[in-house]
Amino acid sequence: MENIFKKALAKIYSVTIIVTVMAVNVQFSIAVHIMAGLACAREDGLTSSRLAARVNPSPSFVRRTRAKLSKAGLAENTTGKSGTCRLGKDARKISLLDIYRAADAPKAIAIHSYAEQKGCAVSCHIKAALEKVLASTQKAMEKSLAEVSLAQIVSAVKH
């Protein structure tokens, strides 16, 4: 009897919770991880499978990221069954901004795409107000990334 009572109460008091999950984008950090791995591997290069094992995403995600880095001239890929990837230029000449742009990572902070509510002044003007602030924030972040080389990251990793 007690068990039936608990089930009835559970149905009465059950609540549906709707959660909006904001996706975390890790493209940039994975691209830096890959590039640091290549910098540490030196001339030998690494296969997608070895990179994936070190970084942890799927080998196909690593291959797509490798392709972007290669297209930007930051990495060089060899083809074939044992195709490898190595740095396309000296780690001291590759900035984090270069990697950020090559990875095609999204902006640091995005503005929501919800429709504006015509009766609300905030809703009608918030996006325009935020665009100015976020543009300067994005520029500041990119300036900061431009000042850090891949070699500096590798040095920090090795300590």
pTM score of the predicted model = 0.76
Token output for 143:
């300036």
Q: How many domains does the chain have?
A: 1
Highest mean pLDDT among 52-66, 78-92, 121-135, 142-156: 142-156
Local confidence band at 10 (pLDDT 50, 70, 90 cut-offs): low
In a domain? residue 133: yes
In a domain? residue 12: no
Write out the H or E segment, with its range, that includes residue 49: helix 48-55
In a domain? residue 19: no
| pLDDT above 70: percentage of residues in the chain | 81
Token output for 96:
């984090």
Residue 150, amino acid: L
Domain that holds residue 54: 27-158
Examine the pLDDT at 37 and tell me if it is beyond 60: yes
Q: How many helices (H) and strands (E) does the chain have?
A: 7, 2
In a domain? residue 2: no
In a domain? residue 50: yes
Q: Give the CA distances from residue 158 to residues 114, 126, 151, in Å, rounded to whole numbers and listed in that order.
A: 44, 45, 11
Token output for 134:
């976020």
In a domain? residue 8: no
Closest C-alpha among 47, 144, 146, 150 to residue 90: 150
Local confidence band at 111 (pLDDT 50, 70, 90 cut-offs): confident
In a domain? residue 18: no
Distance between CA atoms of 40 and 86, rounded to whole angstroms?
10
Distance between CA atoms of 35 and 145, rounded to whole angstroms?
15
DSSP conformation class of 159: -
E strands along the chain, which residues? 75-77, 85-87
